[in-house]
Amino acid sequence: MRKENFGALEETIGYRFRDQDLLKTALTHSSYSNEKKSKGVDVECNERLEFLGDSVLSIITSTYIYGEYEDFREGDLTKTRAAVVCEKALSKYAGAIGLGDFIFLGHGEDMNRGRERPSIKADAFEALLAAVYIDSGYDLDAPRSIVLPFIKNEIEEIKAGSSFEDSKTALQHIVQQVNSEKLEYVLVGESGPDHDKYFEVEARLNSNVIGRGRARSKREAEQLAAKEALRLFGEE
């Protein structure tokens, strides 16, 4: 059953729409639009807004990753962006704000648990970002304030996964091939206030610096230092 009160959604995302019709369009699935049109009522679906929202999401995500992760090469940037704007991730973001409960669906789609379909929720989330962007006078800060916390959290989860753990492990395997080699990670600097601190770490092989990393946690900084060292060895 769809929730009727848009105010609850607006409160959740922290944005109040001036144009409620724009919000309604963002939440209108094509199945609902087609159903209404079959009855002679012209209702616009959210596909055009979804198109714009995809670009809005991309620029917000790309700008954040580019500025935040200076050690990432193009491939790392591309992979990270793809991971945090994929259908699975967007569906998760939509679920966090209960977006599925507000979507206008055709009767058949609604009966077939359409509100739970990742593709429908992901598309509606992109459309919502576009609607906020337009309603705010094309101010990127408005949709950014909604989606950026999700992006940050998703990246942290990715970094905590195996793909980031592999760098230190792979480097250790290389070093272990020679018994006399000594690998260590040395904290060489800290910067920023306690709530936004950055750590700088060097990966050292027999006291020689072979990689550097800078991140919000020592663990991540070590991983980035190891990743840079792997490039030195031609492993990345």
CATH ID of 162-232, from 3.30.160.20, 1.10.10.10, 3.40.50.150, 3.40.50.11540: 3.30.160.20
Q: What does the pLDDT read at residue 161? A: 64
Q: What does the pLDDT read at residue 56? A: 98
Query: Hey, what amino acid is at 34?
Result: N
Angle between helices 47-68 and 118-135 (to 10 degrees): 80
Angle between helices 118-135 and 141-159 (to 10 degrees): 140
- Averaged pLDDT of the chain: 90
Q: What does the pLDDT read at residue 1? A: 60
- Paired tokens of 57: 């999401």
Rounded to the nearest angstrom, the gap between the alpha carbon of residue 209 and the centroid of all alpha carbons in its chain is: 33
**Residues 151-164: pLDDT tens digits?**
999 988 877 765 44
pTM of this structure: 0.70
CATH ID of 6-159, from 3.40.80.10, 1.10.1520.10, 2.40.50.140, 3.10.20.30: 1.10.1520.10
Q: What does the pLDDT read at residue 69? A: 86
- Paired tokens of 80: 């990270």
For CATH 3.30.160.20, the residue range(s) in the chain are 162-232
Residue 80 gets the label, from left (phi > 0), alpha (psi -120 to 50) or beta, of: alpha
**Residues 83-138: pLDDT tens digits?**
899 999 999 999 999 999 999 999 988 888 888 899 999 999 999 999 999 999 99
For CATH 1.10.1520.10, the residue range(s) in the chain are 6-159
Least confident of 25-34, 140-149, 150-159, 199-208: 150-159
Least confident of 15-24, 48-57, 224-233: 224-233
Q: Give me the residues paired with residue 184 across strands.
A: 204
Q: Looking at residues 206-233, what average pLDDT do you find?
A: 88
Residues classed as catalytic: 54, 126
Query: Hey, what amino acid is at 152?
Result: K
Between 33 and 231, name the one with better pLDDT: 33
Cα angle, residue 40 at apex, residues 36 and 46 outer, rounded to 5°: 40
